[in-house]
Every structure is written in structure tokens, then in C-alpha cells.
Amino acid sequence: MTKTVEDPLSRTFAALADPTRRAILARLTRGSANVGDLAAPFDMSFTAVSKHLRVLEGAGLVSRGRDAQYRPAMLDARPLAAASAWIDDYRVFWGDSFDALDDFLAASATNDDESGERDAQ
């Protein structure tokens, strides 16, 4: 049974969780491609690549066009903006944490220097 994820951010991260899908997105940054083009670097069937494309489409990361009998896939990076914003919130947290650690270490070094000078006297 496949669980359907309703939250767009969760769908984005679920789609990005697979290295094959990330490689497909990386390929699509160079322009649209059909299933055959996308399957070429992988040891997998066109059907398997199509399944990965469906997951990426469900997350809104890929759109499919129609060119005669071909359905080229195109990158739609808009959902990545929300993922990036979410990650940026944690980048601020880690930056603040590292700044506090720097302050603590600087204060500790100053205290060690001062106690070392007193011990030398």
C-alpha cells in the first residue's frame, strides 16, 4: 500500500530522497528530455524511469509536454524554492549555534590565558 503525501513540501522531499530522481532532475537542468534520454545513463527500463518521472510530476518538479508521440519532461524548479526556504531556516539556527560556540570558545581561551598568567606570577 502506497501512502499518499498531501503536503507539498513533504512530496518534494520524498521525490528528492531517491538518487535516481535527483540525477534525473540534474539532467533536466540542461533542458527537456524524453524517457529514452533520461534512461540512458541508468541500468533500468523505460518503465522504471517513467515511474520515477511520475513521482517527480506528483511533486510538481517535472512537467511533461507532448511532441508528436514523445512526451518530453521539463524541470519545474518552483517547489525547490519552498524546500530551500525550509532549509534556510535551519541554516540560520546552525549559524547562530556556531556563533555562540565561537563566543564560548573565545571566552574560554581568554579565561585560560588569564589563569595561566596568574599561575606564572
* pLDDT at res. 1: 45
Same domain? 58 vs 83: no
Whether 121 shows a pLDDT value over 60: the answer reads no
* pLDDT at res. 48: 95
* Number of domains composing the chain: 2
Distance (Å, whole) CA 90 – CA 71: 38
Same domain? 13 vs 72: yes
Same domain? 90 vs 100: yes
Question: Model's pTM, two decimal places?
Answer: 0.72
- For 76, which DSSP code? -
Provide the 10 A C-beta neighbour count for residue 28: 22
Amino acid at 52: H
Q: Contact, 59 vs 15, CB < 8 A?
A: yes
Domain range for residue 121?
78-121
Last residue in a domain, options 44, 59, 76 = 76
Q: Residue 52 domain-assigned?
A: yes
Q: Give the pLDDT confidence of 8-49 residue by residue, as tens digits.
A: 999 999 999 999 999 999 999 999 999 999 999 999 999 999
Distance (Å, whole) CA 110 – CA 119: 14
Q: At CA 74, angle to CA 73 and CA 78, rounded to 5?
A: 135
